[in-house]
């Protein structure tokens, strides 16, 4: 049994409808190659991977690889982008089209909710409504709300709501900051996204978010970015007593940062057999879950890297990572 906790999908009908009925300033147009271009409030058009909405091709892949269930959210740019993030209008549209996609998957796909972090004063009410209406068991959150950090006090009610609903929570980085220094946007995806996860989670640790919300079931994409190899460095700030010591590092937490990092979860999408095995070794078999980042090339869409790493692990480790840990998290209610 395989449960994939990291995938992306969009309904073709939703993308087609955006041509005639924009949502939150978002419109679409055909790219002439069987796909879509997305344009936001008069900005430059951006291409979308056609495999995001090619349901037939996705289902063939899932059946061939014997994936029992794939959790999915929209592509990251629909949740948070430079200077802004999803509002209630966009969130509702994303939820509606996601349930439509899931219904057409024959039980192989399950949508994650997304929070309306672009409207902090309405996001909790909207999440409560969405969970009640659609029965979401999981949520995909961005690494920042259009550049506004998640450790901002405005987002603490969101974590309270997520904890109260017992949602499996997946953090995915987004391109919320200028990308000029990366040269091309693709370089931002390669290097910037893992950094965004690393920064967001480190700030949440020191802000005391995980101490205030011990019931959060947070999975980090791309194996947690740089957090696993930087564990010792982050801890060093907490334990420092010399001239680099700073009260910020102890003001809101009662234990060292690794205590909180050890309570988080990490997907297998680090794209290297050695790195997947390293994350399993450091974080343990109970803290790693299978995630493919389907359908993206800079991902592990067919799970080939993860499976190559897991083939070298014991049967109980494989079972935990492929399905057991996800089943356990989904069954635990706060």
Structural domain includes residue 94: yes
Residue 103 within a domain: yes
Sequence-distant (≥ 6) Cβ neighbours of residue 159 within 8 angstroms = 209, 212, 213, 216
The DSSP code for 254 is: S
What number is the average pLDDT over the span 188-208? 96
**pLDDT confidence tier of residue 46, bands split at 50, 70 and 90:** confident
Whether residue 106 lies inside any domain: the answer is yes
Range of the domain at 308: 2-11+51-331
pLDDT band at 149 (very low <50, low <70, confident <90, very high): very high
Residue 182: inside a domain: yes
Q: In the chain, what percentage of residues exceed pLDDT 90?
A: 90
Going by C-alpha positions, the residue among 175, 145, 173 that lies closest to residue 158 is: 145
Secondary structure letter of residue 112 according to DSSP: P
Number of domains within the chain:
1
In a domain, 132, yes or no: yes
pTM over 0.75: yes
Cα(6)–Cα(155) distance, integer angstroms: 23
Tens-place pLDDT, residues 8-23 = 999 999 999 999 999 9
Q: Region 112-141: what's the mean pLDDT?
A: 98
How far is residue 157's CA from residue 319's CA, in Å, rounded to a whole number? 35
**pLDDT tens, 50-108?**
999 999 999 999 999 999 999 999 999 999 999 999 999 999 999 999 999 999 999 99
The DSSP letter of residue 293 is: -
pLDDT band at 333 (very low <50, low <70, confident <90, very high): low
The CATH number for 279's domain is 3.20.20.140
- Indicate whether 44 belongs to any domain: no
- In terms of Cβ atoms closer than 10 Å to its own Cβ (0-12, 13-18, 19+), residue 47 is exposed
Give the DSSP letter of residue 51: G
Pairing between β-strand 144-145 and β-strand 26-30 as defined by DSSP bridges: unpaired
pLDDT in tens, 225-278: 999 999 999 999 999 999 999 999 999 999 999 999 999 999 999 999 999 999
Reading the block at residue 218, the tokens are 């947070």
Angle at the Cα of 281 (from 215 to 217), degrees rounded to 5?
15
**Res. 334 pLDDT band, cuts 50 70 90:** very low
For residue 46, being part of any structural domain is answered with no
Q: Name the residue with tokens 């959060």.
A: 216
């Amino acid at each position: 049994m395989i449960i994939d906790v990291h995938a992306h999908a969009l309904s073709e009908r939703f993308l087609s409808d955006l041509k005639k009925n924009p949502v939150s300033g978002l419109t679409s147009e055909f790219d002439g190659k069987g796909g879509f271009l997305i344009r936001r409030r008069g900005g430059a058009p951006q291409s979308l991977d056609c495999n995001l909405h090619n349901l037939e091709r996705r289902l063939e892949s899932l059946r061939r690889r014997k994936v029992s269930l794939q959790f999915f959210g929209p592509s990251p740019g629909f949740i948070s982008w430079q200077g802004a993030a999803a509002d209630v209008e966009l969130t509702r549209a994303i939820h509606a089209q996601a349930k439509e996609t899931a219904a057409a998957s024959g039980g192989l796909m399950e949508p994650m909710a997304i929070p309306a972090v672009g409207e902090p004063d309405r996001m909790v009410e909207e999440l409560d409504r969405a969970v009640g209406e659609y029965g979401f068991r999981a949520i995909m959150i961005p690494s920042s709300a259009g550049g506004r950090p998640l450790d901002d006090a405005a987002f603490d009610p969101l974590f309270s709501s997520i904890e109260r609903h017992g949602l499996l929570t997946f953090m995915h980085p987004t391109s919320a900051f200028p990308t000029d220094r990366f040269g091309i946007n693709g370089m931002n995806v390669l290097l910037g996204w893992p950094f965004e996860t690393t920064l967001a989670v480190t700030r949440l640790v020191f802000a005391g978010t995980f101490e205030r919300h011990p019931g959060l079931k947070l999975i980090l994409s791309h194996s947690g970015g740089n957090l696993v190899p930087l564990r010792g460095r982050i801890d060093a700030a907490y334990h420092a007593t010399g001239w680099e010591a700073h009260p910020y590092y102890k003001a809101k937490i009662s234990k060292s940062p690794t205590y909180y990092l050890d309570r988080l979860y990490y997907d297998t999408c680090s794209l290297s057999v050695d790195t997947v095995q390293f994350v399993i070794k450091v974080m343990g078999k109970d803290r790693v879950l299978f995630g493919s980042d389907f359908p993206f090339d800079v991902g592990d869409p067919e799970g080939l890297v993860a499976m190559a790493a897991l083939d070298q692990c014991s049967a109980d480790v494989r079972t935990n990572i492929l399905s057991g840990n996800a089943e356990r998290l989904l069954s635990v209610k706060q």
